[in-house]
Structure 1
Amino acid sequence: MWHRDTLTLSARKRGFHLISDEVEQALAEMPPVSVGLLHVQLLHTSASLTLNENADPDVRHDMDAFLRRLVPGNLPYFRHTLEGDDDMPAHVFASLLGTQLTLPVEARRGVNRLALGTWQGIWLGEHRDHGGSRRLCLTLSGE
């Protein structure tokens, strides 16, 4: 069985945001599978997806602080600057972290759920100061 939906996330400020609940809500509305995989593809080039700590928001803060120091927006050798100082670093971060995840799915009481570790959550990395809404392509495969 294959099923595909698009999930639109509201605009968020620059930083890392836990979006597991939004993805799980969309997953629960898909046809149930006993076992499967959910492929999540972010349809943008200046944001990212990653699987990381879901409990302490300081981890998300620290990751953002590290990346901003690693690739600041005012590097003199960047040529792609027409969209602002935050755009080229955003593309670098999206390439480093990635824009897709493939996650295990299981049905619990007939409802699809992500089969993640206790402390794992899906993060949206918003790397622009004003990135706007973001779209995810969710593809479920399973039986």
Structure 2
Amino acid sequence: MLRQSLETLQVLTPGEGFTDLTGRLNASIAASGLQLGLLNLVCLHTSCSLTINENADPRVLRDLSAYLRALVPEEGIRPLSGLGDLRPYIHADEGADDMPAHIRTALTTSQLSLSFQHGRLLLGTWQAVYLWEHRRQGSARQLTVHVLGS
């Protein structure tokens, strides 16, 4: 028989970087009592995102951050050729990292669907689920965790 559970998680981020959600998501699955199914995770913000990535070597996460900062710099937009004038972002209501955070979220994802079995996420040996904060200042982030299964 198909059952479901829906909850909201609050995640406090210390600022730009990654917060491992794997343990909390497995706890949500366990609390639901379901053993086999699908977990749908949605981040309810436009300046942070979700990713599944390396959980063994923290240098991977540092390199990911450096890459995205280089791809979407705070100072504004240049033509991809590198030639031409810098155009500062128009939207900067909450500071210089405001618009870059929105672009970084648009280039990543704010929703993941993950299978689980025996009451635990099916992840690879070196994988974890992360909330990726794109703002320098920490924040209280809301995520919905919708678990469907039997």
- Asked if these proteins are the same fold (TM beyond 0.5), I'd say yes
Structure with greater Cα Rg: 2
**How big is the alpha-carbon RMSD for the aligned residues of Structure 1 and Structure 2?**
1.2
Q: State how far apart, in whole Å, the 1-side matches of 2:42 and 2:112 are.
A: 7
Which runs of at least 4 in structure 1 moved beyond 6 Å after TM superposition?
none
Q: State how far apart, in whole Å, the 2-side matches of 1:131 and 1:44 are.
A: 13
Q: State how far apart, in whole Å, the 2-side matches of 1:16 and 1:97 are.
A: 13
Q: Secondary structure at the match of 2:32?
A: coil
Give the corresponding residue for 1:120: 127
Q: How many matched pairs? A: 138
Structure 2: segments with no counterpart, 5+ residues: 77-86
2:16 maps to amino acid? R
Give the corresponding residue for 1:6: 8
State the shift of 1:37 in Å: 0.3
State the shift of 1:135 in Å: 1.1
| Structure 1 residues 30-82: Cα deviation after superposition (integer angstroms, max 9, x where no partner) | 1223x200000011110000111111111111100111111111113411111
Q: State how far apart, in whole Å, the 2-side matches of 1:116 and 1:12 are.
A: 25
- The question of 1:129 aligning with 2:136 is answered yes
- The question of 1:100 aligning with 2:100 is answered no
Q: Secondary structure at the match of 1:81?
A: coil
Q: Report sequence identity in percent.
A: 41
Structure 1: segments with no counterpart, 5+ residues: none
Query: TM-score by structure 2 length?
Result: 0.86
Q: Give runs of aligned pairs for residues 79-90 of structure 1, distance below 5 A.
A: 79-90=90-101
CA contact (8 A) 1:51 1:120 kept: yes
